[in-house]
Structure 1
Amino acid sequence: MQTVRSKRGKEIKPTLKNENLFFGALFLNVLITVMNTTMFNVAIPSITTQFNLTATLASWVVTSYSVVFAIGTVMYGRLTGLYPIKRLFTIGLILLGIGSTIGILADSYYLLIVARLIQAAGTSSISALGMIVITRYIPEGRKGAAMGKVAAASTLGFGLGPLVGGLLTEYFGWRFLFVVSLIGVLMIPFYRMNVPNEERPKEHFDFNGLFYLCIGAISLLLFITTENVVFLLGIGFLLIFWYHIQNTQQPFIAPSLMKSKTYLTIIAIGFLIFFINFSILFISPLLLASVHEASVARIGFIIFPGAICSALLSILIGKLLDRIGVIPIIGGGILLMFLAVFLFSSYSYLSEWTILFFYLLSSLSFACITMGLPNFLSNSLKPDQFPSGFGILQLLQFFGGATGVSVSGKILDMGTRESLQINFIWKSSNYVYSNAYFLLMILALIAGIVFYFLKKHESRSTLLSKEM
């Protein structure tokens, strides 16, 4: 990181020129980024009808965006070692603008897919660069509060996306969803004015490692989302990537990072929690429509209050994180998630209001954990390790989300005729939903066990940086 010396020769750490303006812009961009992954879900039926698509082709409107977004978060984080952050913010938002403009004008299915790919190449810069700015330029005692603002925007986006997507698609058409994304481009001046100037030293960039990782990760993601065994062939590139980083100077990711038990524990928790949260977001609307006969608009209004409440509480949790530390926040979040999925599995058949309350608990839990894990990394990793370490965490979290949706879909496809009721507290005939939530409860328990080992490492003061 670039430092400045005072007249007395004392080092002065660069800071954001105006934190309020920066975080206002980041909040809006994170909100739009998350909404971009959720509001297009409810527009799929309209897009399918207009272009006369099969279900598989229609799913690529979401899948194509998600695959590029997952890879982009790793790439942008690593590029901060080569280029100034404000330049990367600018490039990312320009790509978002180009993709959104193409989407507004798209008159064919394939042009729509191109628009989504370019959009994802832009929005993937936001979460990666935003977290790196926090770790570089926000003092230790205020990092939790800063991450709380980002978590609040993310949580709000998950709830607001389906609601806004449904209303805009119904009254203005799906192309208007791209207009919402264009708003994010207006934030470029705020980043350029407030992020400090950086003089990045010229260093080697492992393009071969990036290529192997991208091909392997994309293949695995496509296999998870499409279940096409052909994509398993590409996973061999992950083995090539592992061999490459162990035999290359200045590799894309330090091998010692991937050998650290503490780091592997952190990404395991991230994988499991995203598996659970994305599954809840997938199962709950189907449950509301099937069991409670709720309309698309009503489903959005049921999910939205929980998202609003948890977003507001996220800011308070961020401040609490600075006071009591990261371990209690992560542990409390996992415990709350276990409680939420237990209640989902046992009582969500009762009424729509129970689902609203249970969703509030799960989204609040999700905010705690997604704030806690990056904060733990920022306190434990060396500054030059954080961008790639955080990028891999985000990539594995996305794998968890994609896997969760795929597995949950298979459980629901089995129906009640092909499955046995597992949780006998559930008193409705649609117990396949209870079974799906019950699996999530088991995974929350596993996350708790994994967290126990993380806490054990922390209590022995075994920091990640000492392992490497």
Structure 2
Amino acid sequence: MTPVEVPDSQKKKLTFLICLILSFTVMNGTMFNVAVPDISADFNLSPSQVSWVLTGYILVFAIGSLMYGKLADLFAIRTLFTVGIALFAFGSLLGFLSPNYTTLIIARIFQAMGGASIPALSFIIPARFMPSNRGKVFGYVASTVAFASGIGPILGGFIGGVLDWRFLFILSMMSALSIPLFRRWLPEEERRPGSVDIPGAFLIAVTVASLLMFITSLTTWMLAITVVAGGLFIWWTMKAKNPFIQPSILKNKRYTITVFTSFFGTSCLFGLIFIIPIMLRDLNAISTIGIGLVLFPGAIISGILGQYGGRVIDQRGGVPVVITALLLIASGCFLISTFAGNEAWIISICMLVAYLGFPLVQSSTADILSSVLTPEQNGVGIGLFNLLNFMGGAFSSAIFGAVLEIQGVRLQLNPLSGEGTNLIYSNVFITLTVLAAGAVTFFAIYYKRASAEFDAAN
């Protein structure tokens, strides 16, 4: 299967449509973070109950991001988009009308089942239909994610404050209007040979779901299920004729090195985005809207400059952009560690430096993966990439959330930071600095070696 290049005029329309629908999906996640207290009050829910509004969505979305990637290797993308967006819009309508908590959870699950198709397929479309401009398009896609993640909390706080949390579903419902356009602008594709490995899909779904449950709840028996299901998945993958994930993909060193680099880079970014609101509320006593305004400049500027990063990728390749992105993330984390506890506008500038790495690391790693995988492997390869990025975010949020509960911290890891209540936050951000620096060192050394080995073998 060779990539089909769509006409230039169609590329612009398709790129705009992808970015528009992707922004709905990203904001759908971030807007509901600020609506949780209102939902809890409306339905008289405990913290553990209302957490499922987010947790249920995360579980289904994470698994779906991998499943849609695999299905894209077999079925037409326009068909998958039609089904995915229809489910997403239906879940949004159900959520808007939800009279009780049970209906709301069902609505969020439908949203996740459909919404997972959007980021998964958005990273596959440039590789399949715009191969000569894929770096530029990846830049637009990643910039959209960065921008939408920044504006989501502000928009969610405004809509929830002025109207009602149910009106947050309205934007997602509007995604249904994109279905006719996707069906018109996406090329027709024939059904490709092959079948879905149902036992393998089930085992990896159980593995991912139980691991995410363990991360969020630290329930021991969930870890046991993860180990058992993961072991069975590996056994089945080695035994099956057409396994869900071909072992040859994981034997590709350039792929695995890039995926793990992205995992650690995304862990830093999501850890950063998770901790900053907590720190600003704790040390600066800022409201939810105020926190959104602190994040907003970084989201806007990174969204704009990320587009230029995509052009650099097309000209020079993704490798130097990955290194630049991780260095920006490390620098931003170090600055925040140094100035933790200072005025909010200083933190906003520090966030800007780190935020610039957000679209760059996603677009550059996606471009590299598209170039090192065969067209037949692109779907599941990008799906696994999206899944691991999601897992990285879950890991960092859970780990650093537990760390922030430690009381009476006196150890000062960053000698440039001040002492006091800011010390725990300074130490967390210097840890993120080391993690990002380690990721860039790992990538710079081992990707170069893997590329040399590949060139020598070919």
* TM-score bracket for this pair, using the shorter chain length: over 0.9
**SS class of match (2:192):** coil
Partner of 1:171: 162
Selected match of 1:35 from 7, 11, 27: 27
Partner of 1:80: 72
Kept after mapping to 2: 8 A contact 1:81/1:200 = no
For residues 257-301 of structure 1, the C-alpha deviation after alignment (integer angstroms, 9 at most, x for no partner) is 223333221221121112111111111111111211211111111
- Partners of 1:332 and 1:401 in 2: CA distance: 21
For residues 32-55 of structure 1, the C-alpha deviation after alignment (integer angstroms, 9 at most, x for no partner) is 111122111111111112222222
Q: CA deviation at 1:81?
A: 2.7
Matched, 1:338 2:315: no
Alignment of 1:105-116 (within 5 A): 105-116=97-108
Q: CA deviation at 1:324?
A: 1.6
Partner of 1:101: 93
Kept after mapping to 1: 8 A contact 2:264/2:439 = yes
- Partners of 1:57 and 1:419 in 2: CA distance: 35
- Partners of 2:13 and 2:388 in 1: CA distance: 31
Partner of 1:223: 214
For residues 236-256 of structure 1, the C-alpha deviation after alignment (integer angstroms, 9 at most, x for no partner) is 111111111111111111112
Kept after mapping to 2: 8 A contact 1:73/1:391 = yes
Q: CA deviation at 1:461?
A: 5.9
Selected match of 2:147 from 130, 135, 156: 156
Q: CA deviation at 1:172?
A: 0.9
What are the ranges of 5 or more consecutive residues in structure 2 without an aligned counterpart? none
For residues 61-104 of structure 1, the C-alpha deviation after alignment (integer angstroms, 9 at most, x for no partner) is 11111111111111111112332110110000100111001100
For residues 302-330 of structure 1, the C-alpha deviation after alignment (integer angstroms, 9 at most, x for no partner) is 11111011000011111111112111100
Q: CA deviation at 1:370?
A: 0.5
Matched, 1:350 2:342: yes
Count of matched residue pairs? 456
Partner of 2:257: 265
Matched, 1:422 2:413: yes
Q: CA deviation at 1:138?
A: 0.6
**1:388/1:420 Cα in 2 relative to 1: closer, same or farther (>3 Å)?**
same
Partner of 2:282: 290
Percent identity over paired residues = 34
Partner of 2:369: 377
Kept after mapping to 1: 8 A contact 2:5/2:130 = no
Partner of 1:7: none
- Partners of 2:29 and 2:419 in 1: CA distance: 32
For residues 209-235 of structure 1, the C-alpha deviation after alignment (integer angstroms, 9 at most, x for no partner) is 101100111100111112122211321
Q: CA deviation at 1:205?
A: 1.8
Matched, 1:457 2:452: no
Matched AA of 1:363: Y
Q: Which moved more, 1:229-238 or 1:159-168?
A: 229-238
For residues 131-178 of structure 1, the C-alpha deviation after alignment (integer angstroms, 9 at most, x for no partner) is 2111111133x1111111101110111101111111111111111111
Matched AA of 1:444: A
**SS class of match (1:413):** coil
TM-score (norm 2): 0.95
For residues 394-451 of structure 1, the C-alpha deviation after alignment (integer angstroms, 9 at most, x for no partner) is 1111111001111111111113x15533223221412111111122112112212211
Partner of 1:67: 59
Partner of 1:214: 205
CA RMSD, 1 decimal: 1.9
Partner of 1:9: none
**SS class of match (1:82):** coil
Partner of 2:44: 52
Selected match of 1:127 from 92, 111, 119: 119
Runs of 4+ residues deviating >4 angstroms: 12-17
- Partners of 1:99 and 1:351 in 2: CA distance: 41
Kept after mapping to 1: 8 A contact 2:340/2:425 = no
Matched AA of 1:285: P
Partner of 1:204: 195
